[in-house]
């Protein structure tokens, strides 16, 4: 079953075209990684998929479970099972993490026609998830992300992902300078979440994340398109040789 199908996608921001005919298909049960040099359009792709208002799709299509995503607002995309991990998570003073997570979870449950969980049931449910991200329960009673370290914000974001159980999880780790612990938490989250009914798109500048997540496919982006697709071996080759050889050899789109 195809979950995400991106065809000939072009998109611009502030009148500048960044995506230049991008094609990508992700099936249920698959983990895909996108790598590529700085400025190749990786974050733009994730923002376009999430429906960020600053980005305009100028051509092509994005189908999610066979239906166009383009008309859907970001909130609607989230409710239908698309999760985007933000590179710079919001701080929400005055709202406890526990309330925030319970509200987002209940909003997804509601859209699936399920009953909302009350405080006590949610508390039971969240304990197992805390374990996945190795997070101390005391973080639940603190304001969302307020005063959290970078690694704690990352844990919190992956906790949110583990709770929402998205059908399509998009993680943009580029430029975020994750330490090894945070990388491991992200990877545990993705590995824990993965099953035959969902899929993940992991965007990273660095090969080292792929020591912890074994993707089914690795794509290289350059100039706003995917120019090469391979498996784990490709990540090792990129680690060793960098990206420049791709340009020199003018690798054709696969």
Residue 6 makes CB contacts below 8 A (sequence gap 6+) with 22, 23, 24, 25, 49, 60, 61, 62, 63
Find, among 12, 7, 44, the residue nearest to 222 by Cα: 44
200 Rama class: left (phi>0) / alpha (psi -120 to 50) / beta: beta
Three-state secondary structure along 119-159? HHHHHHHHHHHHHHCCCCHHHHHCEECCCCCHHHHHHHHHH
200 binds, among ligand ADP, Mg ion, none (CB under 5 to 8 A by kind): none
We find the least distance from the C-beta atom of residue 23 to ligand ADP, in angstroms, to be: 17
Which among ligand ADP, Mg ion, none contacts residue 81 (Cβ within 5 to 8 A by kind)? none
Question: CB burial class (10 A; 0-12, 13-18, 19+) of residue 130?
Answer: middle
Nearest approach, Cβ of residue 55 and ligand ADP (Å): 9
Between 41 and 81, whose beta carbon lies closer to ligand ADP? 41
- Closer residue to ligand ADP in complex, CB, 132/218: 218
What residues have CB less than 8 Å from 21, skipping those under 6 apart?
8, 9, 10, 59, 60, 224, 225
Minimum Å distance from CB 223 to Mg ion?
14
SS3 239: helix
Among 174, 188, 198, 207, interactor with ligand ADP by CB under 6 A: 174
Least Å distance, CB 175 to Mg ion, is 5
**Sole binder of Mg ion in the list 26, 34, 41, 43 (CB under 5 A):** 43
Tell whether the torsion through CA atoms of 130, 135, 141 and 144 is positive or negative: negative
Contact of residue 14 among ligand ADP, Mg ion, none (CB under 5-8 Å per partner type): ligand ADP
C-beta of residue 98 within 8 angstroms of C-beta of residue 156: no
User: 165 in helix, strand or coil?
Assistant: coil
Tell which positions 138-177 bind Mg ion, by CB under 5 A. Answer: 174-175
Total of residues contacting Mg ion (CB under 5 A): 5
Structure tokens at 237: 């080759």
Minimum Å gap between C-beta 19 and ligand ADP is 8
Residue list 182-221, contact with ligand ADP (CB under 6 A): none
The partner in contact with residue 13, picked from Mg ion, ligand ADP, none with C-beta cut-offs of 5 to 8 angstroms by kind, is: ligand ADP
Whether 195 and 209 have beta carbons less than 8 Å apart is answered as no
Site string for ligand ADP, 17-56 (x = CB under 6 A): -x-----------------x-xxxxxxx------------
The site for ligand ADP (CB under 6 A) is made up of 13-14, 16, 18, 36, 38-44, 174
The site for Mg ion (CB under 5 A) is made up of 38, 42-43, 174-175
């Amino acid at each position: 079953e195809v979950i995400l199908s991106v065809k000939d996608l072009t998109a611009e921001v502030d009148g500048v075209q960044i995506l230049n005919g991008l094609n990508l298909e992700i099936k249920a049960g698959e983990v895909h990684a996108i790598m590529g040099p700085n400025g190749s359009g990786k974050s733009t792709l994730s923002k376009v998929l999430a429906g960020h208002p600053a980005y305009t799709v100028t051509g092509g299509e994005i189908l999610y479970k066979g239906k166009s995503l383009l008309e859907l607002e970001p909130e609607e995309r989230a409710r239908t099972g698309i999760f985007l991990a933000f590179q710079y998570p919001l701080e929400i003073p005055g709202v406890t993490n526990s309330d925030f997570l319970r509200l987002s979870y209940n909003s997804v449950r509601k859209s699936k026609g399920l009953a909302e969980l009350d405080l006590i049931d949610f508390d039971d449910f969240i304990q197992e998830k805390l374990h996945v991200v190795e997070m101390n329960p005391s973080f639940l009673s603190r304001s969302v992300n307020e005063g959290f370290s970078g690694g704690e914000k990352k844990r919190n974001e992956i906790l949110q992902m583990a709770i929402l159980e998205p059908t399509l999880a998009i993680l943009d780790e580029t430029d975020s300078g994750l330490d090894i612990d945070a990388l491991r938490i992200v990877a545990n989250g993705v590995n824990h979440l993965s099953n035959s009914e969902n899929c993940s798109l992991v965007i990273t500048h660095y090969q080292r994340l792929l020591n912890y997540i074994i993707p089914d496919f690795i794509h290289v982006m350059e100039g706003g398109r995917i120019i090469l697709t391979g498996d784990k071996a490709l990540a090792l080759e990129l680690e060793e040789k960098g990206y420049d050889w791709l340009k020199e050899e003018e690798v054709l789109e696969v």
